[in-house]
């Protein structure tokens, strides 16, 4: 897939795979062409990481993460791929 200038690639951590799927449903409702990459359960699980290519902005994605309290880890860790650390930024 070729990434257009308006598309951005993000990476985030989630507390578990079902949280990724809940986030995915809301994102896809806003942007059906969003693409999900590299869902990976971290050693010892249930935490996992995932990448997302979308035209949505970081602030929009963080606001989507406020839809449910279960998505707080995603909201606090989502960053552009080149800035991703996996560390939570509380209050994001």
CB 78 within 8 Å of CB 54: no
DSSP reduced 3-state for 87: coil
What does the alpha-carbon distance between residue 31 and residue 17 come to, in Å, rounded to a whole number? 20
In a domain, 58, yes or no: yes
The closest alpha carbon to 8, from 57, 49, 50, 77, belongs to 57
The CATH number for 24's domain is 3.30.70
In a domain, 92, yes or no: no
What does the alpha-carbon distance between residue 81 and residue 58 come to, in Å, rounded to a whole number? 11
Q: Position of tokens 């707080």?
A: 72
In a domain, 90, yes or no: no
In a domain, 44, yes or no: yes
Total domains in the chain come to: 1
Domain coverage including residue 69: 8-83
Q: Per-residue pLDDT for the chain (92 aa), expressed as one digit of tens each?
A: 445 668 999 999 999 999 999 999 999 999 999 999 988 999 888 999 999 999 999 999 999 988 866 899 999 999 999 999 998 887 66
């Amino acid at each position: 897939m070729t990434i257009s200038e308006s598309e951005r690639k993000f990476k985030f951590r989630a507390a578990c795979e079902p949280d990724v799927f809940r986030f995915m449903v809301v994102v896809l409702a806003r942007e059906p062409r969003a693409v999900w990459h590299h869902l990976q359960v971290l050693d010892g699980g249930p935490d996992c990481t995932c990448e997302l290519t979308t035209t949505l902005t970081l602030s929009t994605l963080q606001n989507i993460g406020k839809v449910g309290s279960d998505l707080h880890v995603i909201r606090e860790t989502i960053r552009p791929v080149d800035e991703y650390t996996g560390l939570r930024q509380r209050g994001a």
